[in-house]
Structure 1
């Protein structure tokens, strides 16, 4: 039976990694992946290149109306998934969606890292003529958005359908 040894990390590469060894081999840590992005409705297609996935978070285009997309976010947004959410939103904007409505009704938890990722994605999109709105925010998350003042940065809506309707009302008639 092999001997299992536990030792302290000795190189910068090992810091944060699993350093439990079996004789001389170091166990490998799984790679971090971005969220899965799927498109259920018509309109601009989801990104053409494969999208990376983050365990515990799913980002899916649920509805498309013109250059607007409702993006359903499911799972906890924290240190492990925040960068994936930011990358997915930026990628969807690059795929042709100018206006993204992030539906947070299936997000049970969002910490400061998640808020930072939303702000980073919003700043990226705003610099390129895009916008992010948030719908279906839970009361605890709404309180956090108000405490931090982010309710002034992101238009908030009760649900995704209300968000789409408000965008249609402000769109110029043709």
Structure 2
């Protein structure tokens, strides 16, 4: 409704529209085993064969000596981190002492993905195994350096370099 302000000036009273507030994403963390009689939490999604659409894909692409190459595809985040850890530990338990995690097909990795990688490494190292990384993208390599994880994992430009380093007599084993 127009109103008269001052001598000959007419304006409309306008209030700025309120912006709707964004809701924060809901995050649920499992902290303990379910109590007796309560329903079990949903299992982490199983690893898929392809990384299309952000889904995590893990597959053994080759085994040479005591080393297996595990191609990782898709995004590593809170949703897929448990599947990464479980699958790497499962591959190690099936026989190969050393794993080469090929990250060439990983476009995104956040803190949850790094945490899962460290958890898998710790489990595998406890039984005498080792994980090395290959094909890590520059942004992910920067993240590894910022967090200091480049000292925990051997990082190689490609799978061939990682396998050659594992075969080298100077590699501790």
TM superposition score normalised by structure 2: 0.70
1:70 matches 2:82: no
SS of corresponding position for 1:34: coil
Number of residues paired by the alignment?
129
Give the CA RMSD over aligned residues: 2.2
1:113 maps to 112
Larger Rg: 2
Could you tell me which of 34, 53, 72 is aligned with 2:46? 34
Contact in 2 for aligned 1:34/1:87 (Cα 8 Å): no
Structure 1's consecutive aligned runs of 4 or more residues displaced over 6 angstroms after TM superposition are none
Residues 123, 37 of structure 1: CA spacing in aligned structure 2 closer, same or farther, 3 A cutoff?
farther
2:84 maps to 85
SS of corresponding position for 1:60: strand
Q: Which runs of 5+ in 2 are unaligned?
A: 1-26, 29-41
Residues 163, 116 of structure 1: CA spacing in aligned structure 2 closer, same or farther, 3 A cutoff?
same
Q: Which runs of 5+ in 1 are unaligned?
A: 1-14, 17-29, 39-54
TM superposition score normalised by structure 1: 0.69
SS of corresponding position for 1:102: strand
* 1:96-130 CA distance string (max 9 Å, x none): 01000000000000000000000000000000000
After TM superposition, give the deviation of residue 170 of structure 1 in Å: 2.5
SS of corresponding position for 2:100: strand
SS of corresponding position for 2:142: helix
Residues 140, 69 of structure 1: CA spacing in aligned structure 2 closer, same or farther, 3 A cutoff?
same
